[in-house]
Structure 1
Amino acid sequence: MKATPAEQQELLRLQSLDTRLQQLAHRLGSLPQAAPLAELAARDTSVRGTRAEAVGGLEDARTELARLESDVAIVEARIARDGDRLQHTSSMKDVAGLESELVSLKKRLSDLEDQELAVMERLESAEGVLAGIDEERASIAADTAKLEAERDAAAAGFASERDAAERDRVVVAGGVPADLLGLYEQRRTRGAGVGAAHLQHRTCQGCNMTLTGSGLESVRRATPDDVLLCPECDRILVRTDESGI
């Protein structure tokens, strides 16, 4: 591939901007608020699971209480009915039967009321647990909002610098021939973000290998518009007056 020395040297400007963008992305991703925010998110996920269990227990208690209240109402209605029948019958046999049934119904009512009281206590406890969980989630939400505000404030400067670097990159990339830019992007993908390296004092600044022997001679024989690759790291090797060849 051929490209003028000036076009090749533009790759160093482009690489400088890409390196800066990588650094900014890393700094944006490693702000001091990132770790505590991740911890808060994990806590909230755990608390949401606990809340779902608590809501399930609360709903079970409410369902059971409603059933007991219905049973109590039925028994009370039967007691009232039998009491009324007892007042209006003159049959000793009926009186004996009704009195026996009333004793059983009153025992059943007492048992139901005891169960009802136990479920009401369980319901009250479940409501307290749920309220405590909701308070914890509110606290997590408040802490999260505070940290997010701090993170956003810290990130604002980096984001502004990133936006400026991205605008500069568009301008610089626009001045690089398409085939050379394509090769640079290919090498940058393979080279951990570095697609072009300065050959400075016979040393590739991409991998710090110093050219000697046949490698150095090959570079010396190349014409200024030859696009060279580092024999060690395979990145585009950009020559300047500082290359020492």
Structure 2
Amino acid sequence: MKAPALEQRKLLDLQAADNRIAQLNHTLRTLPQEARLAELQRDSIAARQEFGGVNGELEDARVEISRVEADIETVAAREKRDRERLQASASTKDIQGLEHELASLKVRRSNLEDIELEVMERVEEIEERLAAITARRDDIATEERLLAAQRDEQRARINAQLAVAQSERSAIAAGVGAELLALYERQRERYGIGAALLRGGVSLGSNVALNGTDLAQIRAAAPDDVVLDPDSNCILVRTEESGI
């Protein structure tokens, strides 16, 4: 293939533009906030799950308190009834039976009150854990919002730079002939680089010094001949820096 030497030199600008676009795209894919946001998302899920579990404990404990309180009220009602019967009774046998039952009810009420106190203490401990989880969950949400805002700001800035780079790339590509441009695109797609400078006998596409045979073939090529790097297969652009 042949192409004017000046047109071939434009490929170096085109490659630089493509490198810049690739760099910006890589930066977009690897924004530093993303990794931390992913961690925070996992932490948020874990905190919500923990909150759900502890909140379930709290609900169970409150149900238990309600049940114990109902039992205490039942015992208190029986005590009241028995005292009223005791005051109204004239039977020694009934009095003894009522006194015995009242003693049993007193023990039962005391035990229930101990259980109530124990459960209330457990409720307090669970509420403290729940408050700590809530605070942690809120901290996570706050950090997520701040990082997401930073990420979005950085992404917008990079996208603006990318739009400029792509516009500049289009302008450069417009100055390259269709056949040469197609070869450049094909080589870049296949090998990762489309064109590189030959400087001092070294291909900047592969960073390898060409051997004598390859250099001799390049020296023999006309200025408008399009030559390829034998190692990287990119288009080798020759300038006064090429050392040939």
What TM-score does the superposition give when structure 2 sets the normalisation length? 0.72
Within a 5 Å distance, the mapping from 1:220-231 to structure 2 comes to 220-221=219-220, 224-226=224-226, 228=228, 230-231=229-230
Within a 5 Å distance, the mapping from 1:65-214 to structure 2 comes to 65-83=65-83, 85-86=85-86, 91-169=91-169, 177=179, 179-180=182-183, 181-188=185-192, 194-214=193-213
**Runs of 5+ in structure 1 lacking a partner?**
189-193
Give the secondary-structure state (helix, strand or coil) at the position aligned to 1:206.
Answer: coil
- Give the distance between the partners of 1:107 and 1:214, measured in 2 at CA: 108
Give the secondary-structure state (helix, strand or coil) at the position aligned to 1:238.
Answer: strand
Q: 2:12, 2:237 within 8 Å by CA — same for their partners in 1? A: no
Distance 1:179 1:25, change over 3 A: closer
Give the secondary-structure state (helix, strand or coil) at the position aligned to 2:236.
Answer: strand
Q: Using the TM superposition, give the Cα deviation of residue 23 of structure 1 relative to its aligned residue in structure 2, in angstroms.
A: 2.9
Give the secondary-structure state (helix, strand or coil) at the position aligned to 1:239.
Answer: strand
Q: 2:191, 2:233 within 8 Å by CA — same for their partners in 1? A: yes
Deviations 1:85-107 (A, max 9, x none): 55565554444333322221221
- Give the distance between the partners of 2:170 and 2:84, measured in 1 at CA: 95
Give the secondary-structure state (helix, strand or coil) at the position aligned to 1:116.
Answer: helix
**Runs of 5+ in structure 2 lacking a partner?**
none
- Give the distance between the partners of 2:34 and 2:219, measured in 1 at CA: 50
Distance 1:147 1:92, change over 3 A: same
Distance 1:72 1:226, change over 3 A: same
- Give the distance between the partners of 1:9 and 1:74, measured in 2 at CA: 98
The structure 1 segments of at least 4 consecutive aligned residues displaced by more than 6 Å after TM superposition are 29-32
Distance 1:172 1:56, change over 3 A: farther
Q: Using the TM superposition, give the Cα deviation of residue 214 of structure 1 relative to its aligned residue in structure 2, in angstroms.
A: 1.7
Residue in 1 that maps onto 2:216: 217
- Give the distance between the partners of 1:10 and 1:72, measured in 2 at CA: 93
The count of residues paired between Structure 1 and Structure 2 equals 237
- Give the distance between the partners of 1:3 and 1:71, measured in 2 at CA: 100
Residue in 2 that maps onto 1:20: 20
Q: 2:44, 2:137 within 8 Å by CA — same for their partners in 1? A: yes
Q: 1:203, 1:210 within 8 Å by CA — same for their partners in 2? A: yes
- Give the distance between the partners of 1:48 and 1:21, measured in 2 at CA: 40
Distance 1:216 1:227, change over 3 A: closer
Give the secondary-structure state (helix, strand or coil) at the position aligned to 1:198.
Answer: strand
Q: Which AA in structure 2 matches 1:237?
A: I
Residue in 2 that maps onto 1:191: none
Residue in 2 that maps onto 1:60: 60
The 10-residue stretch of structure 1 (146-155 or 109-118) with the greater mean CA deviation from structure 2: 146-155
- Give the distance between the partners of 1:90 and 1:143, measured in 2 at CA: 76
Distance 1:211 1:70, change over 3 A: same
- Give the distance between the partners of 1:41 and 1:65, measured in 2 at CA: 36
Residue in 2 that maps onto 1:241: 239
- Give the distance between the partners of 1:69 and 1:195, measured in 2 at CA: 82
- Give the distance between the partners of 1:183 and 1:35, measured in 2 at CA: 34
Q: 2:226, 2:236 within 8 Å by CA — same for their partners in 1? A: no
Instruction: Kindly report the root-mean-square deviation, in angstroms, between the aligned alpha carbons of the 2 structures.
Output: 3.7
The 10-residue stretch of structure 1 (25-34 or 179-188) with the greater mean CA deviation from structure 2: 25-34
- Give the distance between the partners of 1:235 and 1:165, measured in 2 at CA: 25
Q: Which AA in structure 2 matches 1:217?
A: A
- Give the distance between the partners of 1:77 and 1:117, measured in 2 at CA: 20
Q: Which AA in structure 2 matches 1:213?
A: G
The 10-residue stretch of structure 1 (42-51 or 63-72) with the greater mean CA deviation from structure 2: 42-51
- Give the distance between the partners of 1:70 and 1:167, measured in 2 at CA: 77
Q: Which AA in structure 1 matches 2:20?
A: R
